[in-house]
Amino acid sequence: MRVTRMHWAVLAVLLVGPAPVAAQAPQATPLPPPNGDSIVQELRLLRQAIERHGRGAAQVQLVLGHLTLQDQRVGRAQAAADRLEDQAFALEQERRRIEAEIRDLTRAFEQGPDDARRKEVQGQLQSARTRQGEHISLAGQVESRRTRARQAVAEEQARYRDLDAKVTEFEREIGPDLGAPR
């Protein structure tokens, strides 16, 4: 193998390079010789640190579990509220259709050419008004359930925000390096 100028340069850097670096390395302060009390104290401190870490990790896991469950609760409450919104919309469309039918039947009754036709239209009109009353009752029930569902969503979202605030607090306690998303 042939030694080139580059090989000599690398060899020179390796031989000369470590010397200045070693001179610049900070010297560690020598520790006093350990005695029984200092070792026991150090072990106690380490045990306490490990216990704190274990409790903190368990608390974080517990809060994250609660946060996950709360997220599911918010989703279910929102889905129920959305279903009731859809039902209320459908009921509103039905209400308009029944009202239009009643208007048409009322007009047909008033303009009916003979008593037989008027009697037939009157029966239809009475049936439509009965349906309208039932519809109004159902719409009131749906509106009441919809209001409760909206309140439930707001409460579940508030609980979620509280848990999320705890997670944020834990992130702050952990520090910026560990809490940052990757």
pLDDT of residue 19: 45
pLDDT of residue 28: 60
Specify the amino acid at residue 25: A
pLDDT of residue 177: 54
The predicted model scores a pTM of 0.60
Cβ(84)–Cβ(142) under 8 Å? yes
**Euclidean distance between CA atoms 14 and 111, whole angstroms:** 113
pLDDT of residue 13: 43
pLDDT of residue 175: 67
pLDDT of residue 39: 81
Instruction: Collect all residues with Cβ–Cβ distance below 8 Å to 127 and sequence separation of at least 6.
Output: none
pLDDT of residue 89: 95
Whose CA is closest to 97, among 123, 131, 126?
Answer: 131
Query: Residue 96: is it exposed, middle or buried by C-beta count within 10 angstroms (0-12/13-18/19+)?
Result: exposed
pLDDT by position in tens, the chain (length 182): 444 444 444 444 444 444 444 445 556 666 566 677 788 888 888 888 788 777 777 877 888 888 899 999 999 999 999 999 999 999 999 999 999 999 999 998 888 788 888 888 899 999 999 999 999 999 999 999 999 999 999 999 999 999 888 888 877 877 665 545 54
pLDDT of residue 4: 47
Q: CB count, 10 Å around CB of 105?
A: 19
Region for residue 175 given its phi and psi (left: phi exceeds 0; alpha: psi -120 to 50; beta: otherwise): left
**Euclidean distance between CA atoms 126 and 138, whole angstroms:** 18
